[in-house]
Amino acid sequence: GLIVSNMAHTSDRGVYEAIGTTDDLVARAWERNPPPGHLWVWDEIGALFGRPDDVKGGDWLGRIRAALMTLTAGRHGGIQTGTTRIAPSRCAVTLLGTMTRAELEARMSLMLVQDGFLGRMVLIPIGPRRTYLSRPPAWTQEDMDRRDRLVQWVRSIAGSEDCWGEAFMHHDKNALALRDTWYEERSRQFDAEAEGGDEVAVARATAFGRLQATAVKMASLAALSEKEPDEPIAQVRVHERHVQWGIMLAEHTLKELAALVREGQGVTADRYARKVLDYIAAAGESTRKKLLDRVRMDGMSRDARWRVVEGLAQDGSVEIEVVQTGGRPAFVVRAPSPA
């Protein structure tokens, strides 16, 4: 069946507990039969993207993002916490998150695109940036009927004993030809553009590696959405129009990512970080005051620039020494000491 949950402020343990089981027999049964399907609605999902100067390690952000990325493979390795053990098993999870574009721009960085987390998602803008609604529109009977049909369809797919299997085995000849042409042309184009080192081109090439797979998944879903109730999943065929729909979503997300990389505050922070590293490499070391006076970035406050420097210290790119004086402590920034 389908389980719909509202997720927020959870942990990696909470993720595994929501989709897993402590019963080894049940976990083994999910290897033969479909596991429960989960739809997670995560309002204000921005916290999962972190801030541009966050270091994704063993903290909450690093652990929960690692857990969520594990689930995209369709199975997880379980977790042991105290006396409770969640058994490894197959899983089926879809994450539906919401956030404002302004927040996404503030959290955007090249690392967010390159680390694979955002690249596993499809970005869907809802209306223009300025929409004024004094109250939400009322649901009509048609809206409720459409929702019920969608829920029933998803439940029927999630609970089916049929297996989709190898996606390309369902594609007809024209669908495969369109997919192959699009993939080969765009892969070569993006790789060639990225060789120049342009930030937008690098981000687009990186994201395409994930989104081309997402396009296949979306094409498969489009084909399944037209399945007759009594039609076996194994007999469903992916046609050219389904592939076009998957490509459209991937291309739209690539366009959105390129715009975010251009506009995102995190990318500005990335540029500033490189300027700091270049300055320290040439100067050897610098006080905080001198560094912030000499190395500037349009649109970034003094405090924002210092947070970038602190982020560089967190990931070991620079060292910050605190020097005690008669008044406020002074800070000296230098290149990391040789190991």
pLDDT by residue for the chain (339 residues), tens only, comes to 678 888 877 888 888 988 999 999 999 998 888 888 888 998 888 888 877 656 555 577 778 888 888 888 888 888 887 788 999 999 888 889 988 877 887 777 777 777 777 777 888 877 665 667 788 889 999 999 998 888 787 777 766 767 788 899 999 999 999 999 999 999 999 999 999 877 778 888 888 988 999 899 999 999 998 888 788 888 999 999 999 999 999 998 888 888 777 766 556 777 788 889 999 999 999 999 999 999 988 767 888 889 889 989 988 899 999 988 777 888 999 998 876
Would residue 172 be called left, alpha or beta, if left means φ above 0 and alpha means ψ between -120 and 50 degrees? beta
């049964």: which residue's tokens? 29
Residues 6+ apart with CB under 8 A from 74: 90, 91, 92
- pTM across the whole model: 0.68
Helix ranges (H only) for 78-198 are: 101-107, 110-114, 141-158, 173-194
Query: How far is residue 302's CA from residue 293's CA, in Å, rounded to a whole number?
Result: 9
**What pLDDT is attached to residue 52?**
62
Q: Which of 222, 163, 176 is nearest to 33 (CA)?
A: 163
R_g (Cα) of the chain, nearest Å: 24
**What pLDDT is attached to residue 309?**
92
Q: Is the dihedral of CA 79, 82, 85, 91 positive or negative?
A: negative
Query: Using the 8-state DSSP alphabet, how is residue 92 labeled?
Result: E
Question: What phi and psi, each to the nearest 5 degrees, are found at residue 173?
Answer: -60, -45
- Write out the H or E segment, with its range, that includes residue 298: none
User: Is 125 strand, coil or helix?
Assistant: coil
**What pLDDT is attached to residue 2?**
76
CB 73 within 8 A of CB 53: no
**What pLDDT is attached to residue 327?**
75
């060292």: which residue's tokens? 319
